[in-house]
């Protein structure tokens, strides 16, 4: 039966059968089971035809009464493909499979439903050998866990599909291109196979003359090819695909325009004046919906255009970027936001452009629009400002104007719309790179809203917030007022929480450590009531993420973490000793930084952390140093520090400039054979000899190394100059020398 009336009659008959049989699922199950008992091909064909009708009208209501198992149905149907099956049985089997894969409710739980549906569609309109090969591929795809690439037998299947592009009907062409599109989305080998089989020219031809769906799929394939390999991209470029892509960009569906824009981005790797001119013309004449995608393509072209072309008045590139800046004032919110987004991406990738008057002109245009109510535009405008401000130190004209952006950006950073607040924070982080602008900002207007973004934001938002705090503190000493604001906002614990949630490779880790380092460098910190880092002393197990940075991070991250943690040695040396000794690889990492760092602050800070460990786990430290062959290197480095900093002892100041101290309370009983060092406070100028005395206690090899390095002579020399030292330091040095000599 054929025609709409016949189809309606079939549907009504099947519904009636379902009503008297307990539901459509029961009918489908019965028809599937009866295929096994059919005695003739004609019976099989009739049963398959009825099954196809049932699968076609199966809907959500039938599924709710008694759901059918599509996998069982698929297996039953695929079993019908036999070497000597009649044409009618094959035709009805394909018809039933088409109904199965075309039913959204049934096909959603099957593997590769789109690929199977397209294969069935192609099988129905191909003939002879091509049809046989496609049937084999369908059976393989249904009976195994193979991918579409393997089911089509790789390059052979690609060659077959490409052969269907040229001399086939429009429908056949559409299905073949759709299958190639699926392949290129999921398999990299297929991209080379398509190129090697000569697929690029017919794909470009389809892009010019095919159906709307075929054009979109063809553009998608070409984009995948360009994005995979420079060699393949050059082949697509030589096939002259740009004009057809521009046509699709102007006249295609929303999806087609997006695909065309993306493919142009992948395809064009060098400046093309003609294409830039065409895109600029489209930008001023096209429907508003198209401009979003045109801006993407134009941004891609301008990212590789020579700077001289962009700056030369009257050039295609100059006209294009001028048009993009003008569109910032568009009445259409989406176009306005997209222009800001495109300019943001352009300035982000082009340092040379950030340092020109084009950046200034864009900045002025955006600043005039920061009072609009569009959340989408404010987000993208802030993103654009963040990109421009990357080079604020190099572009003095931008810096002069950007001062007026501080207040509106602070207001946007306080926005209840998190995305707006995050991007405003990003812009602030880069704006505060300018010392003068940062100096004019008050702690309250920066710390409070930025900390909120770090608490509630995404990982990118947290990263920018930490950077903003770090850049702000670079020109603000931590006085009592700033310390109170930081403590009130909970900034330090928020930074630690961000560090804990970030991986060691994340940019957030470095930015957070920078901010913590700046907070730990308080001027006259001894006079502060509750300095910012005191919250970590009150919550000692919050410092575990910092310890992890030493154990797992790069040398740069390790140095930052050592500087922050060394500030806690005064109040939490016992906890630090436990955490550092318990973190795998942490003790050797600290020792390595003491040996290799050029920073005196890191050397002393690392030594202080090792004292914390040796007080709690002395044998564990020595074992770790020996296992990593660092013990001798560490001793020689400590002795060298002792020798090279002798002038530091020649002042009546108990502390080296690092300001690191260790409070050794509660006092413990000395280990048998160990000289009692009763000093409660180890000042920074005593940290190196103190660590040497601790290491001297353990084994003959370590003792001999300390002696050979000259530590005893250096300490004796310092004691002989006791008249220039404070009484406390002289006493400590005598005790330490006694300790070392006794151990030796």
- 10-residue mean pLDDT series, the chain (744 residues): 52 55 70 79 84 80 72 88 83 89 86 91 88 90 87 91 83 92 92 92 92 94 92 90 89 90 87 87 79 88 93 94 93 91 96 96 95 94 98 96 96 96 98 95 95 96 96 90 94 95 92 93 67 85 92 95 90 88 93 93 93 86 90 90 60 52 59 50 80 79 78 71 51 58 56
pLDDT of residue 90: 87
pLDDT of residue 70: 85
The residue behind tokens 């009336």 is 5
Residue 699: burial class (beta carbons within 10 Å; 0-12, 13-18, 19+): middle
Do residues 714 and 639 touch, judged by C-beta distance below 8 A? yes
The CATH T-level fold of domain 557-743 is 1.25.10
- Coil/strand/helix, residue 237: helix
pLDDT of residue 737: 61
Hey, what are 487's tokens?
């403590």
Distance CA 431, CA 393 (A): 9
Using alpha carbons only, give the angle 23, 28, 33 rounded to the nearest 5 degrees.
125
pTM exceeds 0.85 for this model: no
Burial 446-481 (b: 16+ CB within 10 A, else e): bbbbbbbbbbebeeebbbbbbbbbbbbbeebebeee
Hey, what are 578's tokens?
């436990």
Q: Which helix (H) or strand (E) holds 225?
A: helix 212-228
Hey, what are 491's tokens?
């900034």
Q: Which helix (H) or strand (E) holds 662?
A: strand 662-663
Hey, what are 714's tokens?
């250096």
Give the chain's end-to-end CA distance (angstroms, integer): 107
Ranges of each domain in the chain: 557-743
Hey, what are 275's tokens?
């294409």
What distance lies between CA 476 and its chain's CA centroid? 31
CB atoms within 10 A of CB 231: 9
CB atoms within 10 A of CB 714: 19
The dihedral built from the CA positions of residue 33, 39, 44 and 46, taken in this order, carries a sign that is negative
> Cis omega (within 30 of 0) on the bond before 666?
yes
Instruction: Give the C-alpha distances (Å, rounded to integers) separating 711 from 350, 488, 593, 631, 705.
Output: 55, 47, 20, 15, 9
CB atoms within 10 A of CB 238: 10
Distance CA 313, CA 319 (A): 8
Do residues 101 and 117 touch, judged by C-beta distance below 8 A? yes
The dihedral built from the CA positions of residue 605, 607, 610 and 615, taken in this order, carries a sign that is negative
Beta bridge partners of 682: 662
Beta bridge partners of 663: 681
Distance CA 685, CA 646 (A): 10
């Amino acid at each position: 039966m054929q025609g709409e009336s016949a189809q309606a009659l079939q549907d009504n008959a099947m519904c009636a059968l379902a009503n008297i049989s307990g539901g459509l699922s029961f009918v489908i199950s019965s028809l599937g089971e009866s295929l096994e008992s059919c005695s003739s091909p004609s019976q099989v064909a009739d049963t398959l035809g009825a099954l196809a009708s049932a699968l076609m009208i199966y809907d959500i209501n039938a599924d709710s009464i008694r759901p059918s198992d599509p996998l069982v149905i698929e297996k039953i149907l695929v079993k019908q493909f036999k070497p000597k099956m009649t044409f009618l049985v094959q035709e009805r089997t394909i018809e039933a499979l088409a109904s199965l894969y075309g039913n959204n409710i049934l096909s959603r739980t099957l593997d590769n439903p789109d690929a199977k549906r397209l294969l069935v569609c192609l099988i129905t309109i191909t003939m002879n050998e091509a049809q046989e090969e496609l049937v084999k591929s369908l059976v393989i795809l249904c009976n195994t866990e193979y991918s579409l690439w393997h089911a089509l037998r790789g390059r052979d299947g690609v060659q077959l599909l490409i052969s269907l592009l040229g001399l086939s009907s429009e429908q056949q062409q559409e299905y073949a291109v759709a299958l190639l599109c699926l392949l290129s989305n999921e398999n990299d080998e297929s991209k080379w196979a398509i190129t090697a089989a000569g697929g690029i020219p017919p794909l470009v031809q389809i892009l010019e003359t095919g159906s709307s769906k075929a054009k979109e799929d063809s553009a998608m394939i070409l984009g995948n090819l360009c994005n995979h390999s420079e060699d393949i991209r050059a082949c697509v470029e030589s096939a002259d695909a740009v004009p057809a892509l521009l046509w699709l960009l102007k006249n295609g569906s929303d999806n087609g325009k997006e695909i065309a824009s993306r493919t142009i981005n992948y395809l064009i790797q060098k400046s093309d004046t003609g294409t830039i001119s065409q895109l600029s013309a489209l930008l001023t004449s096209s429907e508003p919906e198209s401009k979003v995608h045109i801006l993407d393509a134009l941004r891609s072209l301008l990212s590789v255009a020579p700077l001289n072309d962009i700056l030369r008045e009257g050039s295609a590139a100059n006209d294009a970027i001028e048009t993009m800046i003008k569109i910032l004032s568009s009445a259409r919110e989406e176009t306005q936001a997209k222009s800001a987004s495109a300019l943001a991406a352009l300035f982000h990738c082009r340092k040379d452009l950030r340092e020109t008057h084009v950046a200034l002109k864009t900045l002025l245009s955006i600043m005039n629009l920061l009072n609009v109510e569009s959340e989408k535009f404010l987000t993208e405008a802030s993103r654009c400002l963040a990109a421009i401000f990357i080079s604020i130190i190099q572009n003095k004209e931008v810096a002069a104007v950007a001062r007026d952006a501080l207040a509106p950006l602070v207001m946007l950073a306080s926005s209840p719309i998190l995305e707006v607040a995050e991007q405003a924070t990003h812009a602030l982080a880069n704006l505060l790179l300018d010392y003068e602008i940062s100096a004019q900002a008050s702690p309250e207007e920066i710390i409070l809203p930025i900390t909120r973004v770090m608490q509630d934001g995404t990982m990118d938002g947290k990263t920018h917030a930490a950077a903003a705090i770090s850049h702000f503190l670079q020109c603000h000493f931590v006085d009592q007022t700033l310390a109170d604001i930081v403590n009130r906002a909970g900034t330090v614990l928020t930074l630690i929480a961000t560090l804990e949630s970030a991986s060691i490779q994340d940019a957030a880790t470095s930015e957070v450590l920078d901010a913590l380092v700046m907070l730990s460098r308080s001027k006259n910190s001894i006079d502060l009531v509750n300095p910012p880092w005191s919250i970590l002393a009150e919550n000692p197990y919050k410092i575990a993420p910092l310890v992890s940075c030493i154990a797992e991070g790069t040398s740069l991250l390790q140095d930052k973490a050592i500087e922050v943690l060394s500030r806690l040695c005064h109040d939490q040396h016992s906890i630090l000793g436990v955490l550092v000794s318990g973190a795998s690889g942490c003790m050797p990492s600290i020792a390595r930084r003491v040996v290799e760092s050029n920073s005196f602050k890191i050397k002393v800070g690392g030594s202080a952390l090792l004292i914390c460990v040796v007080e709690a786990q002395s044998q564990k430290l020595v074992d770790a140093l020996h296992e990593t062959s660092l013990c001798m290197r560490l001793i020689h480095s400590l002795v060298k520090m002792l020798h090279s900093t002798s002038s530091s002892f020649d002042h009546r100041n108990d502390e080296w400039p690092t300001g690191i101290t260790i409070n050794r309370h509660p006092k413990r009983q000395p280990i048998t054979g160990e000289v009692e060092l009763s000093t409660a406070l180890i000042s920074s100028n005593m940290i190196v000899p103190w660590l040497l005395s601790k290491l001297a206690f353990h084994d003959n090899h370590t003792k001999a190394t300390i002696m050979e390095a000259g530590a005893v002579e250096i300490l004796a020399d310092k004691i002989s100059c006791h008249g220039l030292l404070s009484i406390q330091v002289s006493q400590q040095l005598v005790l330490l020398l006694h300790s070392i000599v006794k151990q030796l």
